[in-house]
Amino acid sequence: MKLICLTLFRRWAGIVALGLVMTSAQAAPGLPASDYPVRSGTLTAQEMKIAKNAWQYFVANYQPTTGLVNAVNKYPSTTMWDSASYLAALTAARELGIIDKAEFDRRLIKFLATLNTIQLFRNELPNKVYNTINAQKVDYLNKPGEIGFSALDIGRMLLWMKIIKERYPEYANSIDNVVLRWDFSHVVDGCGTLYGAYLENGQPKYVQEGRLGYEEYASAGYQLWGFNTCQASRPQPYDLAEIYCVLVPYDSRDSRRTFQHNYVVTESYLLYGLEMGFDTADDRSNTKNHYSHPWMKNFADRVYQAQENRYTITGMLTARSEHQLDKAPYFVYDTVFSDGFNWNTITDKGQYVPETAAVSLKAALGMWVLWNSPYTDRLLSVIENANEEGKGYYEGLYENGSGPIKEFTANNNGIMLEALMFKKSGKLLRFNTDNPKDKNFAPSLWEKKLVDLFEENNTRRNRPFLNPTSAVKSWCERTGTALRTKSSCQACQCASCKADEPVKLPPVAASCLKQ
């Protein structure tokens, strides 16, 4: 009896806490954005033209020696994130018929060969940056040397390698070999928190990486390969900011103490929508307008809605993402919210540079495909011809009207291409090979290694423990492989994090929307 009272009280307290927000911010029935359908169907001639223009970037910036593509126009350097964007572009180019299978194969074989032979940071994971001409580890100035790894960049690469592996199973072997090389000891801990690395006085330091949005997106990549990312996949800790009548969630870890900006941008939610279809990593179905990751979809709707509302209220076309610049400070976080301020535009040092705010083309096209609305129609008409022959699309259009950002990047053009591919064929992650119910099922190299009890690297490299399916078990019996029965890491049973804990959605909108 006492127990029941307690739980009742807790529920009651929750309702009261919710009511506190409601009193001044009455809950609107829902966000208009939640009712906008995604765009789907074959591409129109106009859309095909956009795709072909975007692909121009990857023609112009391809490095035949390594198969890598420059992250920024003519600058021979790239990261795992930008390389994943290249994989997205390559896949889209093939699916949309811009290149044929031969071109696709030629490029992908070279690329995977490079990825399989590059030197890793401390023999763990890919360095943050590589030279695209000789595939050497470099720093941000493209000088040889190692500087650390980014858990988020690697997360995006893992996600794209999974997408390729599933779409084109003939590459599964090469891809599994890439991931088998990697040492996950420091990048993800037992409670599923992601860590990046940097060098301090020559010694590697591992620090928690990722903030709400990006953190969940990157952790999906790890999850697809079997890792537990419980802590990173939860929305907590977050707070809400009221932005043009929408309550927008942001990471509440204090950027003044952690030196990590908690930026809210379109890109992180956008990529999750395009690639994962707002589904969880273990959702193998592919149904349109059904989202098995409801809070991610809901948070994405809020980020979208705040931007549409800004246009409605102030007349400013808005599609925000982090982007490059064609002049100093060269890179900004152009956010919906960051470090305490709505519509903050800051450099990586936190300097406020509002004059560099821009309509990001990747964000605009991504919003166009995920939210079919009159507002995104307008976004498309403003960006569709913002390209240069043979170079691809501009990074953005300055909000203050001072024209385009005359810079071209792999990430921008790659995301534009994947948005168009989404229109044609829906959610980009399409499970194919390892469905145990499939009659063609065979465990992949990755799985075979992971279930092998005598594979030393499983423990040494902190590989995840896969729950063996019956098909894997039978494969083990047939081949005489001793099956791992329990996880090798002790911390994997994390007491402080429950992965299946339901997430209650916070109230959506402030009262001013209803007027």
Partner 1 sequence: MLKTVSRKTLAALLGFLLVALALLALVKDGGAGWRWLSKGGWNTSARISALTPEERQWAQTAWRYFVNNTQPQTGLVNGSDKQPRATLWQMGDTLIALLAARELGLLKEEEFDHRLTQLLGTLNRLALTDTRTPGRLYATPNASLVDFSGQTQRNGWSARDMARLMLALRLVSEWAPQYQEYLDKIVLRWNFCPVIDPHGELWSSSIENGKPVIREELRLGESEYAATAFRLWGFAPDQAFTPPARNVIIHQRTLEVDARDPRTTWQPSLISTLPYMLPGLEFGWQPPGVERATRKALRERAKQVWLTQQTRWEKEKVLTARADFALGQAPWHVDDTVWGNGYAWNTLGADGKYYPRLAQVSTKAVFALWVLWDTPFTDALMNVSRRMNDAQRGWFEGRVEATGDFNRTITLSTNAMVLESLFYKAHGGPLFRNGLIDNGSYFYLQATDVFSAPGLCLPGERRVEMKK
Residues interacting with partner 1, by CB under 8 A? 17-18, 20-21, 24-25, 239-242, 247, 254, 256-257, 339-341, 352, 354, 510
Neighbours of 236 (CB within 10 A): 11
Write down the least CB distance from residue 346 to partner 1, Å.
10
Asked if 61 contacts 106 with a C-beta cutoff of 8 angstroms, the reply is: no
Nearest Cα neighbor of 276 from 213, 212, 319, 221 is 221
> Rounded to an integer, what distance in angstroms lies between the CA atom of residue 385 and that of residue 191?
47
Write down the least CB distance from residue 25 to partner 1, Å.
6
Write down the least CB distance from residue 68 to partner 1, Å.
39
Handedness of CA 448, 450, 453, 458 (dihedral sign): positive
Write down the least CB distance from residue 358 to partner 1, Å.
18
Nearer Cβ to partner 1, position 208 or 511?
Answer: 511
Nearer Cβ to partner 1, position 294 or 507?
Answer: 507
Nearer Cβ to partner 1, position 183 or 239?
Answer: 239
Nearer Cβ to partner 1, position 349 or 478?
Answer: 349
> Rounded to an integer, what distance in angstroms lies between the CA atom of residue 181 and that of residue 460?
11
> Rounded to an integer, what distance in angstroms lies between the CA atom of residue 383 and that of residue 385?
6
> Rounded to an integer, what distance in angstroms lies between the CA atom of residue 270 and that of residue 222?
18
Neighbours of 28 (CB within 10 A): 17
> Rounded to an integer, what distance in angstroms lies between the CA atom of residue 156 and that of residue 248?
24
Nearer Cβ to partner 1, position 55 or 238?
Answer: 238
Nearer Cβ to partner 1, position 244 or 291?
Answer: 244
Nearer Cβ to partner 1, position 75 or 352?
Answer: 352
Helix/strand/coil for 248: strand
Write down the least CB distance from residue 352 to partner 1, Å.
5
Nearer Cβ to partner 1, position 15 or 491?
Answer: 15
> Rounded to an integer, what distance in angstroms lies between the CA atom of residue 461 and that of residue 244?
47
Write down the least CB distance from residue 8 to partner 1, Å.
19
Write down the least CB distance from residue 18 to partner 1, Å.
8
Nearer Cβ to partner 1, position 225 or 343?
Answer: 343
> Rounded to an integer, what distance in angstroms lies between the CA atom of residue 250 and that of residue 299?
9
Write down the least CB distance from residue 241 to partner 1, Å.
7
Number of H helices, E strands in the chain: 18, 19
> Rounded to an integer, what distance in angstroms lies between the CA atom of residue 165 and that of residue 506?
37
> Rounded to an integer, what distance in angstroms lies between the CA atom of residue 160 and that of residue 149?
17
User: Please, what is the end-to-end C-alpha distance for the chain in angstroms?
Assistant: 46
Q: Decide the pairing of beta strands 345-346 and 392-393.
A: unpaired
> Rounded to an integer, what distance in angstroms lies between the CA atom of residue 485 and that of residue 473?
11
Write down the least CB distance from residue 253 to partner 1, Å.
12
Write down the least CB distance from residue 254 to partner 1, Å.
7
Nearest Cα neighbor of 184 from 151, 231, 146, 162 is 151
Nearer Cβ to partner 1, position 230 or 346?
Answer: 346
> Rounded to an integer, what distance in angstroms lies between the CA atom of residue 352 and that of residue 115?
37
For every residue of 315-375, which 3-state class applies, written as one string? CCCCCCCCEECCCCCCEEEECCEECCEECCEECCCCCECHHHCEEEHHHHHHHHHHCCCHH
Write down the least CB distance from residue 512 to partner 1, Å.
9
Beta-carbon contacts of 237 under 8 Å, excluding residues fewer than 6 positions away, are: 251, 252, 253
Nearer Cβ to partner 1, position 306 or 370?
Answer: 306
Write down the least CB distance from residue 36 to partner 1, Å.
25
How distant is the alpha carbon of residue 9 from its chain centre? 39
Nearer Cβ to partner 1, position 145 or 329?
Answer: 329
Write down the least CB distance from residue 9 to partner 1, Å.
15
CA distances from 5 to 16, 19, 144, 200, 502 (A): 16, 20, 64, 53, 21
Nearer Cβ to partner 1, position 299 or 371?
Answer: 299
